[in-house]
Every structure is written in structure tokens, then in C-alpha cells.
Structure 1
Amino acid sequence: MPSISLFSIIFLLPLLNPVISQNPQPPAWTLIDCGSNVSSLIGDRQWVSDTAFVSTGTSKILETPMNDVVLSTARTFPLRGNVNRKFCYEVPVIRTRKYLVRTTFFYGQINGNGFPPVFDQIVDGTFWSSVNTTEDYLNHLASYYEGIFVAGGKNMSVCLAANNLTDSDPFISALELIPLGDSLYNSTDFGSFGLRLVARHSFGFNGPLIRFPDDIYDRIWQPFGQSNTTTGFRNVSVSGFWNHPPLKVFQTDLSINEPKSIELFWPPMSLPKATYYIALYFAADGSSTQGNSRLFTITVNNLNYFRNLNVTSEGSVVFANQWLLDGITNITLTPATGSNIGPLINAGEVFEVLPIQRTLTRDVTAMEQIKNNLQNPPVDWNGDPCLPIDYSWSGVACSKGPRIRITALNLTNFGLSGSLSTDLTRLTALTDIWLGNNSLSGTIPNVSSLKQLKTLHLEFNQLTGEIPPLLGDIGSLNELFLQGNNLTGEVPRNLIKPGLNLKISPGNPLLIPPQ
């Protein structure tokens, strides 16, 4: 066994109750037809327009007719001037609920380029993956990405962002959020980690994709067939399986009748060095194993994964929370000494384990209110304000380390209008607020609770009312620029002190200097 942490534990789990119905109805999914202006019923499922979930971008209709109506439209987001800026869908969710998030992309030359762009996608503050659909597009296929994340708030942000390799506008065809049952993948600490799908296959299967209604959560199981397969109806009695794989994946397998090893190079691609969640599913055909012992050991890259697994018609799942993989993966199933029948495998899933990153919730909530008070906030003010680090909001600076806080706002000359939210006072890690040369109106909020504030620049706006006298109680404040506004009343005396550079003119004709 490799060296493992407390989370890197191998589990063998048989059946779980309750038994899952094989004739389910779709749960309350959010299925978003990106770029569409109308909602529609497609394949007995209700797809909705994306206009309620995103505030920017351009809706486009593909010129090439598509059999899949959902792929006939897309939304694009402008590349020019927006490298390292994210554009987000804000989808209402239930806080602490676990969701399967799926994005689908079909290019259709909507940008006019011969090849689709490469760009990044982000969930809340966590980098999810790069999106590269070139190979699928050249084969006239759509590309999809799946991840599993827990909602940290009332909305989940799913964002696209141009990186330094992006050569045309990022785009998206569909976005799906499907709530998952509590027991699915629940050995993962979703408060600290998310999962990015690498591969999900039904072994020995050569048919079309397995998904809803066979899989009640509409997970996509791809076929993975080889010559040594068993097909057709099999006598298995699995139900209520851990992770709830569909019964259909147990109707085929990769197997060998002789007591010989099976060597499987899977997932079918080279993997970057990272930590992965691996789940392997097994169930023997009850009619063919009577009187036989199907006992075998599983190794992954020559490391013991599970020893002496006894597979019956009731089935088993063996999974590891955190397993290090790098490059090509070799899974070997070796029959135990004395076994008179070979091993088998029915299905498998591999996810990359993603460390979750989030800005302090209080700061995120405060920035949302500050944004709501502005009539024209920056277009990239969506999702997490600080994360990922390369995609923080324009004009927002943040701390580093395990506790991410907002430390500065530099929005000088951003053309902002609206008013200053009192929620500024909740950003208690702020050291600098620079909002000069905009068109902000209303009064100056009392920000005396910001004990680390060094500079407050509000010059050349349209602010009115009096200067809050408690600003003088901020001991760290050394610059207060208020010139070029329409402030009234008397300048508080406690602002006239050594070490504080106070500017109140030009402008402010009705402001009374201290006597």
C-alpha cells in the first residue's frame, strides 16, 4: 500500500439500503440551455433559458442544424480586454447540498475561427479545469465536463475565463446542476474538496451512453469494451449500491473464465500527477458462479489496492478517497491461489480531488451588497471576489494563506455610479479604499470599524452630507481625500491632527472648515 493520509483509506462496501427504484422521475434539476431566449421541453426534460442566470455575454445561434436542440445555441463572452477575468452563471442552490455540475460545449465555429478556443472554468473560487474541445469538435462531437461540489451559499457560481492561450471568445452550450443523494461519494470531505470527473465507464459494454433514466442522477457512463467481455442479461441481485451506479452497468463486464489475471490500462489517458478518487464496481453472474470461487486481488500501478476481494451476485464497490496517480494507470486483477475462475470488473469512476478555495463568507456577502449598490459594477464582478488568485475581481486585492480576506479596493476612474454601501464596514481587513474620480452619490458611511484602514480616497465624486466624525478615531488612517464633492457641515476637529493628510478642497463649497 502507498503512504496514505487519514482520508486515503480503501473501502469495501456491499449493499446499502434503501433499494433504489428503477423507474424514477427526474428530481428538481436545473438544466440551462445557454444562449437560448426561451424555455423548452426537450426529451421529456425541462430546459430553461439562461437569461435569468447570467448578466453578460452574447447569445448566438449555430448556423449548422443540430439534432440535439440544446446544442443549437451558445453564449459567448468577450475576449478582448478580458484575459484573466471571469464571467459567471449564478445558479440558486440549497446551501450544503451536493451537486453534480456539468458543462457542455459545442463550438460550431460561432467565433468565426476554424478551431475552438481554450479557456478555463471555475466553480465559486475553485479552479475546475481548462476547457479544450478541439479533438471532439474535429470529430463532430460535443464535449462535456462533470464535477461534484457542495454549495457554500445560496448561489453557486459557474464561471468561464479567458487565459493567456485563449484566442477567441469563450463559449458554453449548456449548464446542468443536479442535486445528488447524501450517500453519493460521501467519504469525501466536500467542505475541503471537490471532485473533477476524469473517467466513468461501463466495462464490456459497447452500446450508447448510459445515463438517465438508467442512472437516476443522469451521470454519463461511457462504453469500454474489449474482446474478453460477457454481454447480455446476467443474474445479479445488486440494489441500493454505494454511490448508486445504474443496474445496467452490471449487465456486462470485462472477465475471464480461466484463473488468469486481467490487465487494464484505465483510465484511457495519461494523467497529470495529482490525487484521485477511484471507485471500482463488481458483481458476479449468479448463474455462472455457482460452485466457483471468484476471489482476486486488485493492484493499481503494482501497489496493492485491495486483497482477496470476493465477488458475488450481490456486488461490491471498492474505492479510495485519495490515491496518487501520475501518467498511465495500470489496474491488474489477479486471481487468488486456489481460485477456479478468473476475475471480472463491471464499472469504474475516477475523479481528480480538488482542494476547495473560498474567500471568507462575510467578505463575499459584503462585496455582493457593495455590488448591488452600484448601478454599473465591473462586468467581472461575479463569483468569488478573490479566487482563483489569477481571476480576482477587477480593483479588488486580497490576502494570501488559508484565510482569504479582502484587503484593498482600488476602483479609481472606473466610471462607477450609485452609492456607497454600509457593508463596507464588514470588510474589516481593508487597509485601502480608493474610489476617486467616479460618479458616486449619497453619503459617506461610517467606516470607523475598519481599524486597519490607512487610506480612504473618495475625491471627485458627487457625495453629499456630513463627514462622519468617527473617521478621526481610526488610528491607522493617514490619508483622507474628500475634495471635489458636495459635502456639508463642519469638518470634525479630530481629523485635524499630525500624521493625517486631509484634503477637502477644491469643491465642497458648503463645507465649513474647523474653527
Structure 2
Amino acid sequence: MWKYLLIWMIISCLGFTLCFSRPGRAPFAMRISCGAQQDSQTKPTKTRWRKDFGYTGGISVNGTRPSYITPPLKTLRYFPLSQGPQNCYDINGVPKGHYSIRIFFGIVIQQSVISEPLFDISIDGTQTHSLKPGWTNEDDQVFSEALVFLPDGSVSICFHSTGHGDPAILSIEILEIDEKAYYFGPQRGQGIMLRTVKRLSCGYGQSKFDIDYGGDPWGGDRFWQHIQTFGQGSDQPRSVETKIKEASLPPNFYPESLYQSALVSTDSQPDLTYTMDVDPNRNYSICLHFAEIDNSVTAAGQRVFDILINGHVVLKDVDIINMSGDRYTTLVLNTTVSIDGRTLTITLQPTGDSDAIISAIEIFEIIMPESKTLSEEGLFPFLISAVVSKASTYQKRIRALQTLKMALVLPSRFGWNGDPCVPQEHPWTGVNCQLNRSIGKWVIDGLDLNNQGLKGFLPNDISKLQNLRTLNLSENSIRGAIPSSLGTITGLEVLDLSYNLFNGSIPESLGQLTSLKRLNLNGNSLSGRVPAALGGRLLHRASFNFTDNPGLCGIPGLPTCGAHLSAGAKVGIGLGSCVAFLLLVTCSVCWWKRRQNILRAKQIAARAAPYAKARTHLSDIQLTKHHPHPHHHRGNAHTAAENGPVLLS
């Protein structure tokens, strides 16, 4: 009996240990030293940094650290506006899971003037941070940190210019955390992002990272800013070296040292109040950390207080010993609040004669992730998709974007990196988007790229953009034929390809665009007959312009197709004329030679005629002499008499 009971107890203990211990493997960690050409290692923690990779543009230069907490790295990557308003790091090979993503900013010194750039940051299409003036003077503002869930093995981290200096990035850290880290209820789903606004370690001590506290790596190596007082003489620090129970446990793995110091309110000012500025009209998750380390409080009920946010009670009758179970034991309380104004005030208000106490504060902005662009549109698969069929999602995205830039010869100032439609504050230049609520995705409903210096061609697979309503590529130098696949975008309302270098005929398929309201094909080198279905409907339902196309015919306002031949017909007629001309020349030459031969023969005959006559007369005389018979004379006289008078001498 006792043997079975012992076995059951051992199994129960093992099960408890497995449920509440950290995972057996080390957390995934990727640290990138931006602008670096080689892998490196930094002291004193011997942190390993990978050389720069995954970026879409930018320039590598020597960097300057704005704060002592910035990693001691020598280079950075900055993104001048001339290379586009948004540039990204597209990182592949990140396992599915929850991560703390931290980006340290750098400073580029130009002409001895320190430039403090202000720009926006987005992660997988969701804007997570906007730098504010003066960030170089605040240690906990020299980096941006967000807690995110990455579902597909990759992450895109983009930097968006706002016109106030070029984004400059010193390093990027992608650190795996526990799957239930900072779980605060059902609303903390996989899609929710948390942006770190503030982390405070109260009381004695120094500003440190988890690694400096000796914290567990599954905590994500957080930075805790030390604060020794909330101000106005309302508090005083406390600290102990006593071991703290229930610290550094999953899912958040808070370092034990965090709870060995605290701020305690004074008798003259029993309320303990912390105030800070925040962005208005946002939702915030607030974690408050406690451990009863005051020797004057030894039992439950001796210290009880309410917690107020902006004057409203959010947690009532907080008793640390009662709620944690003992002295020197951690207690973490979480609340979610909506802030309308620009100030967040946290007040610990005692309900009796005791004082209030607090060890640490964490404040996060709750960010709902943006719906991404529909994948077949966002990745632009109409760009040589066969080339990337065996590539990863990350590689397909990068190659597709690069191919698009090459196909249209897009100027570098366009950028076109990241998601075309999100964040909503920074869509791609010339791209119009609309949220399709039925599928929860953004779709591209317009491309407005007129007069942008494009010199490429329009690929057939543009038909993948089935949600297009407007396509304006006018006043560029786009060559080649008009893709027949345009006729499959049945919702197209405006098609403007005017003043380009399009050639060939107008595809018959354009007659299928039943929603078309405006069609401009003027100013090109198009030829042939305007499709009957297209012309007939346009005359009644839409405006159109086919002028300045010398080879077009077939509708009112253009030459009739009989009177105005196509280029092919002109070539045929030209070839026929040449053949006929050659035949005519050949016949003329033959006739002329024959004529010359006849004339030459006549000339020869004419020269030979006098000699022939002389021989004839002589013969006649000789015949007369040799035949003097009288009958002969009579015969001759008779003949002469019959033919007329004869003169005799």
C-alpha cells in the first residue's frame, strides 16, 4: 500500500514539475548587427551577433551609440529617403512561436551635426512604434520592443520615413519567449501585439537587463529602468537580500532581484502615485509587481490598498501576503484599461493606516494587428512565378518585389518593400487599397502610376489583380502589346494607358470590360480595327480616346479601315508593288533588246539591197543577148502592149 502511494506521489511531483518548469530546450535567439560584414561577439556578456542580412536597401556606415545601454556595436544601416519611403528587414528561418522583437536605433554623424531621425516601425504590416523628439535623451527610448506571435517562420520588420531624417538601425533582436508569456485573458490571442511602453524597477539598484540580473533567457532579456522615487517626497526605497519565493517561474520568468527592492509610501503621504505621458485613445495592459519585504508587515491584513488608474478603482483591497500566500513571495497583478487622454496615473491608495508598496511596473500598449494584403495580390505572383516556385515564402516575396521593380523599371525612390497596403499610414506609392471585410484582407483596387518615368512592360499576369477598379499608367514609356488578360478584370472602371509606347492591336478581350467608364489609349502606336464590341458599347456608356494612334480605324472619329490600311497591309502592298515594278523593268528590258535586234537586222538588209539590184539588171541584159528569137520579141511587145504604151528608141 505504501509502495503504491509513494509511486503516486513521485508521479504527481514529476507532473507538477513538467507543468510549471521552463521548456527543456534553449529559446530561439537571433541577433543582427546592422551594417556589419562579419559575425561578432560583445562583452561583457559575450553576446553573439550575426552579420547584416535580410535588408531591402540602405547604406552601411559606422554608427554612434545614443546611450550606454545600446549594444557596443560599431556599424549601423541607415535608409535615405532617395531609396524609398519604406525599407525592411525580411527575416526567414524563425520558428513558429511568441517572440520579443527589439530594435536599437543608431545615430549617423554628418558634418559634425548629430541628426535625431524620427520614423515609424512596423512588424508584419502592423505599425508598432513612432519615434518622438528627444528619444536620444531617454535610455528606455533608444530602442523599440514588441511582443508578437510569428505563425509562418518569417518576419518582416519595416522602417517608414516620415520626412524627419533617415531611419538608422543599429541592431535587431528576435528572442523567443514562453507561449503564454504576458497572457492576460482570452483577448490575449495569438494575433495580439504588445508594445513595451515602460518597465520600471522601483527602489534601490541600477537600470539593468535580465541578463545582468542573472535572469532566465526565456524572459527575453528585458530592460528594467531603475526609479528610486516617484517624486514629491511621497515614497522611500526599501531593499532586502532575502530570497524571494515564486520568482523566475514560467511563463514570464521575472528575475528574483526585481522583488528585492521596492518603494514604500510615507506616513505623510500614504498614497503612492506614478504618472507618465502616453498616446491617447489606446488600450494598455499594466502589470504591477509586489513582494512583501517590509519587516513591519508580517501577516495578512496588515497592508491593504486599492489600485486606481486615472482615478478609477481597478483592483480593490489588495493584500500582498494574503494573495501571494506568504512574505517574500512574488505577486503580479494585471489590468487592462482604455486611456482617452495623454496621461496615465497609477495610484496605490491604502484603505487603513498602513502604507502602500510596489516593486516594479510594466506598461504595454495593446495593438490589434492589421489585416494583411490578399497573398496573391500582395506578393504579385504575376511576376515570373515559375522562377520562384521552389523558393520559401520569404524568398518569393523578395524576388517578386524585385522582379516587379525590374519589369516596370521602377525608380528607387518608390521603395515598394513590405506589405503593399499596411500599415495603413504607409501604403506603397501609387497603390490604392481597400479592406474586403468578407475575407478580412486588404485588396489592391487601384494602381495610379502616371508620369513616373516607367520604361518596362505590362505583363499578362496583371490579371491576378482581380480587384482593380482603376489602372492609370499614362505618360510613361511602357512598351509592348496591351495584355489581353486585362479583359478578365471585369470590375475595371478606369483604364488609362495613354501617352506610352504601346503597339500592336487592341485586344478583343477589352470588349468584356462591362464596368468600364473611361478608356484612354491615345498617344500610342496602336494599329488595326477597334474591336466592334468595345467600340459599340463605349459609344453609349463610357468616355474614350483613341486619337494619336496612326494605325487605328473602325469607329467614328477614326479613319475607315478600307481607306486607312493597317501597317501589315501597307507592308504587303509595298512588297507587291516592288515585285510588279521588277517585272515591269524586266519586260521593258526584254522588249528593248528585241527591238534593238530587229532594227539591227533591217539596217543590214538595207546595206545589202543595191548590190542585189545590180546583179538582177545584168542578168536581164545577158538573157537578151543570148535569146534573139522573134517570138520572144513579140511576146515581150505583147506583154508591154497589155501593160501600157512602150517607148521605142
Could you tell me the TM-score, scaled by structure 1's length? 0.78
| Residue of 151, 156, 171 corresponding to 1:174 | 171
Does the 8 Å CA contact 2:484/2:508 hold for their aligned counterparts?
Answer: no
Does the 8 Å CA contact 1:56/1:87 hold for their aligned counterparts?
Answer: yes
Does the 8 Å CA contact 2:60/2:75 hold for their aligned counterparts?
Answer: yes
1:259-305 Cα deviation digits (max 9, x unpaired): 983412144x4654532111112233498754453433222232112
The answer for the alignment partner of 2:587 in structure 1 is none
Shift in CA distance, 103/431, structure 1 to aligned 2, threshold 3 Å: same
| Residue of 229, 241, 254 corresponding to 2:237 | 229
TM superposition shift of 1:507: 7.5
TM superposition shift of 1:383: 1.8
2:264 maps to 1:255: yes
Alignment of 1:112-511 (within 5 A): 112-132=112-132, 134=134, 136=136, 143-151=142-150, 155-164=154-163, 166=164, 168-186=165-183, 187=185, 188-189=187-188, 193-212=192-211, 214-216=215-217, 217-226=220-229, 228-239=236-247, 240=249, 243-255=252-264, 261-267=270-276, 269=277, 272-285=280-293, 290-293=298-301, 294-311=303-320, 312=324, 313=326, 314-324=329-339, 326-337=341-352, 342-362=355-375, 363-366=377-380, 369=400, 372-375=403-406, 376-378=409-411, 379-399=414-434, 404-416=442-454, 420=458, 424-436=462-474, 437-439=476-478, 444=483, 446-458=485-497, 469-477=508-516, 478-479=518-519, 481=521, 484=524, 494-499=533-538, 501=544, 503=546, 505-506=549-550
TM superposition shift of 1:430: 0.7
- Partner Cα separation in structure 2 for residue 115 and residue 353 of structure 1: 30
1:136-166 Cα deviation digits (max 9, x unpaired): 35x89981121223347664332223325x1
Alignment of 1:6-155 (within 5 A): 18-21=19-22, 27-42=27-42, 43-50=45-52, 52-62=53-63, 70-79=72-81, 85-92=85-92, 97-107=97-107, 109-110=109-110, 112-132=112-132, 134=134, 136=136, 143-151=142-150, 155=154
Does the 8 Å CA contact 1:397/1:409 hold for their aligned counterparts?
Answer: yes
TM superposition shift of 1:209: 1.0
- Partner Cα separation in structure 2 for residue 140 and residue 342 of structure 1: 31
Q: Indicate the SS of the match to 2:258.
A: helix
- Partner Cα separation in structure 2 for residue 511 and residue 347 of structure 1: 82
Q: How many residues align?
A: 488
- Partner Cα separation in structure 2 for residue 163 and residue 65 of structure 1: 20
By percentage of residues, which structure has more strand? 1
1:325-377 Cα deviation digits (max 9, x unpaired): 6344433323444x8x6442222211122343334333323375465344144
Q: Indicate the SS of the match to 1:185.
A: coil
1:37-58 Cα deviation digits (max 9, x unpaired): 32223343332233x3222221
Shift in CA distance, 142/356, structure 1 to aligned 2, threshold 3 Å: closer
Q: Which one-letter code corresponds to 2:100 in the other structure? A: L
Q: Which one-letter code corresponds to 1:180 in the other structure? A: I
Shift in CA distance, 65/348, structure 1 to aligned 2, threshold 3 Å: closer
TM superposition shift of 1:210: 2.7
1:232-267 Cα deviation digits (max 9, x unpaired): 323321143554323331222223698983412144
- Compute the RMSD of aligned alpha carbons: 4.2
Q: Which structure has the greater CA radius of gyration?
A: 2
- Partner Cα separation in structure 1 for residue 250 and residue 275 of structure 2: 22
Unaligned runs of 5+ in 2: 1-15, 230-234, 382-396, 553-565, 571-649
Could you tell me the TM-score, scaled by structure 2's length? 0.64
Q: Indicate the SS of the match to 1:498.
A: helix
Does the 8 Å CA contact 2:373/2:421 hold for their aligned counterparts?
Answer: no
Deviates more, 1:441-450 or 1:408-417: 441-450
Shift in CA distance, 191/275, structure 1 to aligned 2, threshold 3 Å: same
By percentage of residues, which structure has more helix? 2
